[in-house]
């Protein structure tokens, strides 16, 4: 399967991440944990992130797979 991870970084430190397998945001700093709580309670934000799996990952996976398979 395909997994989509959306990381948010500030000053080279990841503070929050969305993982499509978990389906939620996880915070890694105090600020990130607060954002994760807020964003996880917002169905619109969660829906947008999950939609990226379909829009970006699955679309591009087909392109990458065909490029790789054409070379063998």
Picking from 20, 16, 15, 9, the residue whose alpha carbon sits closest to that of residue 52 is 20
| pLDDT class of 54 with cuts at 50, 70, 90 | confident
Helix runs in 1-72, H state only = 30-40, 43-52, 59-70
Instruction: Return d(Cα 56, Cα 70) in angstroms, integer.
Output: 21
Is 34's pLDDT higher than 80?
yes
Rounded distance, CA 26 to CA 34, Å?
A: 10
Which pLDDT value is given to residue 72? 57
Domains delineated in the chain? 5-70 (3.10.320.10)
Query: Is the whole-model pTM more than 0.85?
Result: no
């Amino acid at each position: 399967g395909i997994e989509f991870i959306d990381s948010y970084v500030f000053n080279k430190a990841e503070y929050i991440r969305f993982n499509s397998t978990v389906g939620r945001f996880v915070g890694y700093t105090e600020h990130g944990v607060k954002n994760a709580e807020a964003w996880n309670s917002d169905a619109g934000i969660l829906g947008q992130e999950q939609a990226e799996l379909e829009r970006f990952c699955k679309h591009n996976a087909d392109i990458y797979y065909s490029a790789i398979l054409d070379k063998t």
